[in-house]
Amino acid sequence: MIEKVNCAKKAIEFVEDGMVIGLGSGTTVRVFVEMLAEKVGEGLDVVVVPSSIDSHVLAVEHGIRTASLLEYPEPDICIDGADQVDRDFNLIKGGGGALTREKIVASASRKFYVIVDESKMAERLNMPVPVEILEFAYGFVKRKIGEMGCLLKLREGKGKLRPVISDNGNIIADVDAGVIENPGELERLLRIPGIVENGIFLAEMVDGVIVGRSNGAEVLKR
């Protein structure tokens, strides 16, 4: 937990009065929101554009003003977590199922900073890649993924067996491609009709990675 706290503390340093902040999702972002709320309580004036219902509710509960991309189509900065970051700053995101909106908000923002603890850093991306799929297209998408030599697994919720549904009303699945030697190529291959978005966020999107450690945090830039 201390790694997440240190990471969030460092991210707060990038926030300035009057900013519009793209707000990601996840456990590390939750710590960031708690710290941001303290600053707002001290007089900091910011607006956040949440990337999920979860982060929207979290911001409102902490007294932080929220808005949408309709009102602020170009946030000043986006702060979001990641499930894995490789040595070249490519990311896998979407463990929480919010990948589509997260990618939209990150792409819309002038700067995109990723906040992770050091356990999320890897030499190469190697975890399954989340994808958001139109239910209508699932059978076709599964066949195309299989033809690529990869395995598509429908993500199921806990308790009663049922698919995980995104905030957009689509199903979430995961593509196991093994060790990903070329994230750019895989990201391109996953643009299959019926896949709304995939969880590979290429390095060209990322302005910096803030890595939380037990003794502080480090800002890595390309």
Enzyme catalytic residues: 102
The closest alpha carbon to 97, from 177, 196, 190, belongs to 196
Tokens coding 78: 């986006």
Binding-site residue positions for substrate? 25-28, 80-83, 93-96, 120
Tokens coding 212: 């939380």
d(CA 144, CA 140): 6
CB 209 within 8 A of CB 10: no
Distances (CA, A) of 198 to 101, 129, 155, 170, 191: 11, 7, 14, 13, 8
73 burial via Cβ count (<10 Å: 0-12, 13-18, 19+): exposed
d(CA 79, CA 64): 15
Residue pointed to by tokens 């911001």: 59
The closest alpha carbon to 84, from 200, 204, 207, belongs to 200
What is the DSSP annotation of 96-162? TS-HHHHHHHHHHSS-EEEEEEGGGB-SSB-SPEEEEE-GGGHHHHHHHHHHTT-EEEE-B-SSS--
